Chain A
Amino acid sequence: MNITPDMKMADVLFHNYTLLPVVSRFNIKLGFGDKTVSEVCRNSDVNLDFFLEITNSYVDEDYIPQKELNTFPVSLIVQYLKKTHQYYLEEKIPEIERNIQRVLDAEKTINDKFSLVENFFTEYKQELTNHINREEANVHPYVLEIEAAAIKNEINKSLHSKIRKYSINDFASEHDNVEEKLFDLKNIIIKYLPPCNSSGLCNSILIELFRLEKDLNAHANLEDKVLIPKVAAMEEKLLALYKA
């Protein structure tokens, strides 16, 4: 069932609780009463169409965008991507780390084995942090610059050489998959670690890993399938303009 403007926001969340963190990313706070999706968005200063596209594609992998996601400004997409990064680094990762630590404290007998999980996750955290830092330090400012130039329909020499030196497609080809390691980690915990007595804790670690993986997938889709093609098209236009 697609999420539409006149549905009640509360109902949307009753049906798809996985959207909770997504809704928070839009700075929308709980306590909706009977307000509809469109009312809540209006009150919270959220672009309704963007909200609908993001939430619908989040809950339904086969969702076919109603509005070309490409019509949204790059700045809006970047803002959302940043919020998501923040959610990973400030909420999700620390939460999983805490639970890993709790298992380590509780499971003295398989401690040495479980500390492999800890190391693995620390390594993963570093990888994810690097991935995100690189996007925020280089890619985001670059795509915003491209968009500003495309709006003004103007390209100067320095931007031209920037595009020549490192275009969005160069980024696309280097954009690595940060979900793979998570998949392996789940597999190791489910299949290969010795039985863990704190099964409640292990389960919550696994559930968080499943959620994080799903979220990262949606995030990467937004980067790879929406942002990159959109910026690539702008670059192409700007390069043509420079030639002329």
Chain B
Amino acid sequence: MERIKFVIIEKSYLIRKGIASIINRIEHATVVKELENLDEINSALLKYTPDFIVVNIGILSDIDTFRNTEIKADLSQTGIGIASGNSAEKEKKHGLREIISTLDERDDIYNKLQSLIREKVDSRHKLSQQTELSEREKTILKHVAKGLTNKEIAEKLFLSAHTVITHRKNITNKLGIKTISGLTVYAILNNIISIGDLE
């Protein structure tokens, strides 16, 4: 199964490496990108599509200035805050999924992260056990194979782009195929589309 991906945004080298080493030791988990600040956050999120974002609480407010509401809303599900020292920060949730403190024992951090990862793994398992595509998913797959973008598919089927993305994620999870070429081969093999349709 594909690993659970983490992006860490933390200025301190030691803290970043420390957390990364804990994460990389947990089964199914991997740190795909470490960032010192928010500069490259948008491109990193697009490129790595992390399942969790570990972010220092000190720079959390700067995300507001990006006005990136999509990222912000998402953080309640994917965000793990790093609270430094004995500040009162760690008592609040800051709209994030979980908070870890730099004063926490290794095992505490390990356990908190592990239970988040477990949960994610379980839900993926459930998804991957139902491998039959729904009719809607087949329709979307057909358009993907024809080379349409998410936006074009959304317009064609009168769906929001967000819904199309969700469907595509589900298709990929069910089939274990990520790339468009791979999905196209699957679609042909299963008569969802014929080679003639591709011209």
A120: which of B43, B175, B181 is its contact (CB, 8 Å)? B181
Q: Knowing A169-B40, A173-B47, say if A181 contacts B185 (CB, 8 Å).
A: no
Q: What residues of chain B have their CB less than 8 Å away from a CB belonging to chain A?
A: 24-25, 40, 43, 47, 175-179, 181-182, 185-186, 188-190
A181, B179: Cβ atoms under 8 Å? Answer: yes
- In the assembled complex, A29 has its CB within 8 A of some CB on chain B: no
Q: How far is the CB of B57 from chain A (nearest CB, A)?
A: 25
Residues in A neighbouring B186, C-beta threshold 8 A: 188, 192
Residues in B neighbouring A128, C-beta threshold 8 A: none
Residues in B neighbouring A181, C-beta threshold 8 A: 179, 181-182
Residues in B neighbouring A120, C-beta threshold 8 A: 181-182, 185
- In the assembled complex, A116 has its CB within 8 A of some CB on chain B: yes
A184, B181: Cβ atoms under 8 Å? Answer: yes
Q: How far is the CB of B21 from chain A (nearest CB, A)?
A: 9
Q: Knowing A113-B189, A192-B189, say if A184 contacts B182 (CB, 8 Å).
A: yes
Contact count band on A: 20 to 34
Residues in A neighbouring B177, C-beta threshold 8 A: 184, 187-188
Q: How far is the CB of B56 from chain A (nearest CB, A)?
A: 20
Residues in A neighbouring B175, C-beta threshold 8 A: 187
The closest CB in chain A to the CB of B44 belongs to: A173
A123 to B43, CA, bound (A): 26
A183 to B182, CA, bound (A): 9
Q: How far is the CB of B29 from chain A (nearest CB, A)?
A: 12
A193 to B182, CA, bound (A): 12
- In the assembled complex, A105 has its CB within 8 A of some CB on chain B: no
Given contacts A184-B178, A184-B182, 6 further A-B contacts (CB under 8 A): A173-B47, A180-B179, A184-B177, A184-B185, A187-B177, A193-B189
Q: Knowing A62-B24, A173-B43, A187-B177, say if A116 contacts B182 (CB, 8 Å).
A: no
